[in-house]
Chains A and B, each alone.
Chain A
């Protein structure tokens, strides 16, 4: 049975060109008991034109990973290791003024909460115009015209009339569309959408997903879409990364992930997708326990304390993220899953 390890070439890129390449990014938070690791040497990549879905339970570090790439972390939280290359340049090392050009200009952000992510005392037309004036050097009048086009683009009825509205005058769904419009304002190469639909009801969620899909195809950008909700993004993304406790535990093309979920955590996630119902409370019911708190990470596999398949080795060594099939495009960080494959 002693076989040579299967050859694991790099997964074939959709267009072959890396747009975003995060390597070994580690994020720590200062606590009373010293620094605690929240994200542990995460690797991520997004190719040009590709849409990556990131799923994982609340608190697993999805938002912080995205914020840390753009150096937007709150005070007590720091990147201690790793790099985040965007179009070949390390975002962690570039100067503040270079970074500001990337932020908003080349990478658009859509935030989790449309209720609090817009400036409450600024008209939405002005909030849309701000990056256009700053990054594209438009005049106020040009920026306003373009702001109107953007609102129409994201499907806000009576777009031009809404330019003078304040955020509180719009519904949650409309505000989320405004956020998307702001994220898209400067035609970014990469759009990072951090759970852009959690605050919305189900039909509007689906509309927003369709909208982003449309815009992506029209504008040809790459997208990173963060969510807890695997089912929601199944039709949108090309590839999915499953995050657990600040590490990628499974990385697979979307079809392969649904057909052959290999990490026990992914299997749990899929099993807990409610069938034909909106009962979100049943989410993750099939996985007992809670993720490790920062600073109390287990020594071996971070999932070991909750894993139904855990073995002795799982508590001692950390499994690497390694390729399974599809020429290595499907990768998993689990000893048991990898052994199964080798045995097959």
Chain B
């Protein structure tokens, strides 16, 4: 019943390839992105299984072999308590991923929710969200964190100690999770605005793109339009931002540690290892070099991967 004349020669029919598979092909051709991906995968593996595979326990001290330079028995040497630095760096990977994932997750959750609401409803809601965003971004991040930590950490800790003495309830004895809560919380609190801005801008602009009207004019259902037109166009930049954001969160944790508000020892984090190492680096450079190199590698890997995803998910920019 087609009015259009049929062709005489048969056409080779290949199934349409999805955007995602395309993106994967383009990603694989990008050497830096592949490097980033490999490093990220190795680090993720180390974060999950590393602590079970390392030759030493990250806490076990050996006071007879303190501050040893890297050797075959201690790949990254030992620290001033005779702990194996390699095992601590590997455990630090777990801390880094934990911090990065939790912080980014909270930040993305806040950012996407606020950004989408602002972009979709506009009006006063938009103005409030944008005001909040600008406010948060205009305060120097580290200052905000130090203030939060300083003003909340000791009151909460001493309140808990008081409660413990009064009630002997073990809930109040362990204060490490307060550390984590404060570190994660305050990092998330300063990390959400870029996500909010990004998502708001995405929703705003995609909603009024002519290709959305064109898709409606084709009679497609809202579900198809959402899944095939809005989401793929909005998701790319968010994925890219999240990938880069994971690396940024790891660096941020180190900066916090350096200021004394990061994850506290004895839990190893690259940040607290770096700030400890900084004090003695003239004598024992390996104590600084090992965690700093791994942090640098991780941060570069995430950013290469982010850039690669950006190109891969955006066919316009691909060459």
- Asked if B210 and A187 make an inter-chain contact with CB atoms under 8 angstroms apart, the answer reads no
In the complex, the answer to whether A111 meets B214 with C-beta atoms within 8 Å is yes
* Closest A residue by C-beta to B215: A119
Q: Which A120-146 residues have C-beta < 8 A from chain B?
A: 120-123, 125-126, 129-131, 134-135, 140-141, 144-146
Residues of A within 8 A of B3 (CB): 187, 218-220
Number of interface residues of B (CB under 8 A): 37
In the complex, are the beta carbons of B316 and A120 less than 8 A apart?
Answer: yes
Distance in angstroms between the alpha carbons of A125 and B11 in the assembled complex: 14
- The reply to whether the CB of B217 lies closer than 8 angstroms to some CB of chain A is yes
Report the minimal beta-carbon distance from A62 to chain B, rounded to whole angstroms: 15
Q: Mark B9-52, 1 if CB is under 8 A from A, else 0.
A: 00111111101000000000000000000000000000000000
Q: Encode contact with B along A191-226: 1 for CB under 8 Å, 0 otherwise.
A: 000000000000000000000000000111000000
CB distance from B211 to the nearest CB of A (A): 5
Judged by a CB distance under 8 angstroms, whether B169 is at the interface is: no
The B-contacting residues of A in range 152-198, CB under 8 angstroms, are 152-153, 160, 164, 166, 168, 179, 182, 187
Q: Mark B84-112, 1 if CB is under 8 A from A, else 0.
A: 00000000000000000000000000000
Q: Which of B137-145, B149-157, B180-188, B226-234 forms contacts with chain A? A: B226-234
Q: B228, A117: Cβ atoms under 8 Å?
A: no
Q: Which A70-110 residues have a C-beta within 8 angstroms of B?
A: 70, 72, 74, 99-105, 109
A-facing mask of B211-245, CB < 8 A → 1, else 0? 10111111111001000110011001000000000
Docked complex Cα distance between A187 and B236 (Å): 34
Interface presence of B209 (CB below 8 A) = yes
The answer to whether the Cβ of B6 comes within 8 Å of any Cβ in the partner chain is yes
On whether the beta carbons of A131 and B218 are closer than 8 Å, the reply is yes
In the assembled complex, the Cα of A125 lies from the Cα of B219 at a distance in Å of 17
> With an 8 A cutoff between CB atoms, is B4 at the interface?
yes
B11 adjacent to A145 (CB under 8 Å): yes
- The answer to whether A148 and B11 touch across the interface, beta carbons within 8 angstroms, is yes
Is there a chain A Cβ closer than 8 Å to B285's Cβ?
Answer: no
Asked whether any CB of chain B lies closer than 8 Å to the CB of A116, the reply is: yes
Q: Is B7 an interface residue (CB 8 A)?
A: yes
Asked if B218 and A182 sit within 8 Å, CB to CB, the answer is yes
Complex Cα–Cα for A175 and B221 (A): 24
Q: Which residue of A lies closest to B231 (CB)?
A: A121
Complex alpha-carbon distance, A263 and B16, angstroms = 53
A25 at the interface (CB under 8 A from B): no
A145 touches B216 (CB 8 A): no
Q: Is the CB of A134 within 8 A of B236?
A: no
Query: Of the candidates B210, B219, B236, which one forms a contact with A111 in the assembled complex, judged by CB atoms under 8 Å apart?
Result: B210
Contact of B221 among A100, A109, A168 (CB under 8 A): A100
Q: Is the CB of A120 within 8 A of B315?
A: yes
172-225 of chain B: CB within 8 A of chain A:
208-211, 213-221, 224
* Docked-complex contact A100 and B315, CB < 8 angstroms: no
Bound-state Cα–Cα, A122 to B314, Å: 10
Q: Specify which chain B residues have a CB less than 8 angstroms from the CB of A103 in the assembled complex.
A: 216-219
Is A118 an interface residue when CB atoms closer than 8 A count as contact? yes
State whether the Cβ of A57 lies closer than 8 Å to any Cβ in chain B: no
Enumerate chain B residues within 8 angstroms of A238, measured Cβ to Cβ: none
A340 to B40, CA, bound (A): 82
Q: Could you tell me the distance between the alpha carbons of A67 and B2 in the complex, rounded to whole angstroms?
A: 27
Are the CB atoms of A145 and B13 closer together than 8 Å?
A: yes
Are B2's CB and A146's CB within 8 A? yes
Q: What residues of A have a CB within 8 angstroms of the CB of B313 in the complex?
A: 121
Nearest Cβ on chain A to B54's Cβ, whole angstroms: 43
Give the nearest-CB partner of B6 in chain A: A149
Known contacts A111-B210, A117-B214, A120-B315; is-contact A104 B4 (Cβ 8 Å): no
Question: Nearest B residue to A106 by beta-carbon distance?
Answer: B219
Take A122-B228, A129-B16 as given contacts and tell me if A117 and B220 are in contact as well, using a CB distance cutoff of 8 Å. no
The answer on a CB contact under 8 Å between A116 and B210 is yes
**Quick check: A166 and B2 within 8 Å, CB to CB?**
no
Known: A141-B13, A146-B2, A187-B2. A100 touches B219 (CB 8 A): yes
Asked if B219 contacts A105 (CB within 8 A), the reply is yes
User: Complex Cα distance A131/B16, Å?
Assistant: 15
Q: Does A43 make an interface contact (CB < 8 A)?
A: no
User: Which of B2, B214, B219, B316 makes the CB contact (< 8 A) with A134?
Assistant: B219
Complex Cα spacing A125 to B217, Å:
18
Cα A134 to Cα B227 with chains together (Å): 15
B211: contacting residue among A116, A146, A152, A219, CB under 8 A: A116
> Does B316 contact A166, Cβ atoms closer than 8 Å?
yes
Is A134 in contact with B220, judged by CB distance below 8 angstroms? yes
Do A120 and B233 form a contact, CB below 8 Å, given A111-B210, A150-B4, A160-B11?
A: yes
Q: 1/0 per residue A12-30: CB within 8 Å of B?
A: 0000000000000000000
28 A-B pairs with CB atoms under 8 Å apart are: A72-B216, A100-B219, A101-B219, A102-B219, A103-B216, A111-B213, A111-B217, A112-B210, A116-B209, A116-B210, A118-B214, A120-B211, A121-B19, A125-B16, A130-B220, A130-B228, A134-B220, A135-B219, A140-B15, A144-B13, A144-B16, A145-B11, A148-B11, A152-B7, A164-B14, A164-B17, A179-B214, A220-B3
Q: Interface on A for B, CB 8 Å cutoff?
A: 67, 70, 72, 74, 99-105, 109, 111-113, 116-123, 125-126, 129-131, 134-135, 140-141, 144-146, 148-150, 152-153, 160, 164, 166, 168, 179, 182, 187, 218-220
List the 4 shortest-distance A-B pairs measured between CB atoms, nearest first: A103-B219, A104-B219, A104-B218, A109-B217
